[in-house]
Chain A
Amino acid sequence: MKPESPSDLYIVSSSPHTHSGESVERIMLDVLIALAPAFLAACWFFRLEALRLTFVCVAACLLTEWLCRKAMGRARAISDLSATVTGVLLAFNLPPALPTWMAVAGSVFSIAIAKQVFGGLGYNPFNPALAGRAFMLISFTGAMTTWSQSTWLQKIAGAGADAVTTATPLGFAKEALKSGQALPVFNTGLLSDFFIGNMNGCIGETSALALLLGAAYLLYRKVITWHIPAAYLLTVLAYAVILSLASPATAIPPLFHLLSGGLILGAFFMATDMVTTPVTRRGMLIFGIGCGIITMVIRTVKTGAYPEGVSFAILIMNAFTPLINRATRNRVFGTKK
């Protein structure tokens, strides 16, 4: 806490003695600012659907948070903006045409079950937005994998691809993998479309450009460190390079792996959640590598049900976070190894 009055400065106590000035509110506000470019991109690509989902999720999260805190007789909570961040992140993880009631159900699950049941912010073992998404993906599988029409696949497959134009790049690749057909050519001309966000996907995950802008801001503000995103992305890249060298015919090119699905959003905004990820630098690297491997395994194993694995990968590694923290505990200064 900041010293309130001069007399507080003379209090003798154990360390820490200085306060960085950071607060939950400020950090959450920074995350919201960093998500703003992606929100604008979502509004550009998905129009009113993005606005609707974001508004519904944020409102439902705030209301649930307020009701839970009131029912449990706990102190204020909604002014710390954490529920707002959860709402925005959850909305970013939803496909554009999702019915409103499903978004509300997911928001309620995120806040009530994944967060407040454990004691609120700081006590939740799993990222609330991702837990909400996992709940929805399992509960409403059909609606959660219905994508609006986009132009990207017509560029790949030509005019005769009407039947499959409503798949995500990863979904399409998984189908090809399962049926044993050759993959369509992912030509490099498509890379710019992928980078800007002109493809099917959840509303906030498509535009790598906007997400990277926000991530740069978070890194600049020191809200996140480079360890988890770098370890995560490099692991995915390395895995994808090995796959494409091993079987060039059936593997998606490595750069497309990086840019498709929720990888950028997950690596910078959800795998870096302070509450649910390791606190040590070494632990963060382990966490990132683990996320990368699980993501790629889910994406590329032929028998798997899901084309995208970012949310499950981060949730699984969330479960390992206490173990990683314990295993990588730093030596206390002055003690022997």
Chain B
Amino acid sequence: MSLLTELTRGIIKENPTFRLVLGMCPTLALTTSLENALGMGVACIFVLICSNAAISALRNIIPSAVRIPCYIVVIAAFVQVVDLLMQAYTPALAQSLGIFIPLIVVNCIILGRAEAYASKNGVLYSAVDGLGMGIGFTLSLSLMATIREFLGSGSVTLWGDLAIKNIHSHAMVLVVLPAGGFVTLGLILAFINHVQAVAARKRGESAPLPLELDCRHCALCKVGE
């Protein structure tokens, strides 16, 4: 278990958005422009690294019966830091991210990594894990945001005026609306699963679905029976 594998795991193999399907609220709500996605991603990287490191350092003195409230307090403290920093230095971005910055507290990725990784591993590894997961999250958001902004408004905004405007005049407004977020996410997930299924078939295995996408535990329809 080297630091490098810890770092890359969050980017590809256990990508929080597309493989673990965590943190769907910001994924759907903030991918209307690349600028929002990058802002959210950077905020999450900061919170993930700090909270993972802090929780890992405290892991031996947090009583396991009350560990979730303890994690939340730690995470909330760092989210507060990010919130104040963004309001002070990037007020426009803070304005457009709005309620989703405070809501980082309840982002499943951060609590999930605290519970699944930081509570069991050392400070350095936990921080690297947080960095990898954060980068994976940021890249996923950026991919979705680029697709949606390009199709939905015909431009790609990196930061403020640093943008390519009017690439085409064939904007489809629905893509930047919430419904378009669901459709885009669904198509990306389908594509990734398809690629994995093809790769597994080439190796001669049957491709197992990730648990979140597996029909068998769900009773709504009868596909898995």
A residues contacting B by CB (< 8 A) are 101, 105, 113, 117, 135, 138-141
Contacts and interface: CB of A to CB of B under 8 A. Distances in A.
Contact of A138 (B170, B177, B183): B177
Interface in B158-181: 170-175, 177
A139 B173 contact: yes
B91 interface: no
A141 B172 contact: no
B186 interface: yes
A140 B173 CA distance: 7
Nearest to A137: B174
A138 B186 contact: no
Main secondary structure on B side of the interface with A: helix
B170 A117 contact: no
A117 B190 CA distance: 10
B186 A117 contact: yes
A105 B173 contact: no
Contacts of B183: 113
Contacts of A113: 183
Interface string B175-203: 10100000100100010000000000000
Query: 7 tightest A-B contacts by CB?
Result: A139-B172, A139-B174, A139-B173, A138-B174, A135-B174, A101-B170, A113-B183
A192 to B, nearest CB: 38
A113 B174 CA distance: 13
Contacts of B172: 105, 135, 139-140
Contacts of A101: 170
A286 B175 CA distance: 33
Given A101-B170, A105-B170, A141-B173, 4 more contacts: A105-B172, A113-B183, A117-B190, A139-B173
A101 B172 CA distance: 11
A117 B172 CA distance: 20
Interface in B40-86: none
Contacts of B171: 139
Contacts of A135: 172, 174
Contacts of B173: 138-141
Nearest to A135: B174
B76 to A, nearest CB: 38
Nearest to B177: A138
A105 B190 CA distance: 20
A305 to B, nearest CB: 13
